[in-house]
Amino acid sequence: QVQLVESGGGLVQAGDSLRLSCAASGLTFASYVMGWFRQAPGKEREFVAAHSWSPGSTRYAHSMKGRFTISRDNAKNTVYLQMHSLKPEDTAVYYCAATRKQTHDVGGYDYWGQGTQVTVSS
């Protein structure tokens, strides 16, 4: 019933920008913290950014600050991740997730999308 669907991934060159989208359904979107995570081959799934239900309340992994921006449009039930100055090390499957708690821990999120692949070439 709850569904999160990511889109916007693709193949880009280092230094390029990309915007990911996550469309949510089956939940009261405005009541959920929305997060972005990523997982590269051979690595653990890691926190990227989160946007709370509180207006303007966001947090980022330290390495992503200044390059990535998370935003949400409650009217469209959609959360976005705007990525700038992409680096090859940003290559990963990017997942969006939802939770009722203010947390960046993987285990704290209740719902997950299927992921979208982002590949950054040198």
Which pair of structure tokens corresponds to residue 67? Answer: 């390059």
H/E stretch holding 72 = strand 68-73
Report how far Cα 37 is from the mean position of its chain's Cα atoms. 5
* DSSP 8-class letter at 88: G
14-66 pLDDT, tens per residue? 999 999 999 999 999 999 999 999 999 999 999 999 999 876 799 999 988 79
Q: Are the C-beta atoms of 119 and 49 separated by less than 8 Å?
A: no
63-106 pLDDT, tens per residue? 887 999 999 999 999 999 999 999 999 999 999 999 999 888 99
In whole angstroms, give the CA distance from residue 105 to residue 47. 7
What is the model's pLDDT at position 83? Answer: 98
Residues 6+ apart with CB under 8 A from 41: none
**CA nearest 111: which of 8, 30, 35, 60?**
35
Residues 6+ apart with CB under 8 A from 31: 53, 100
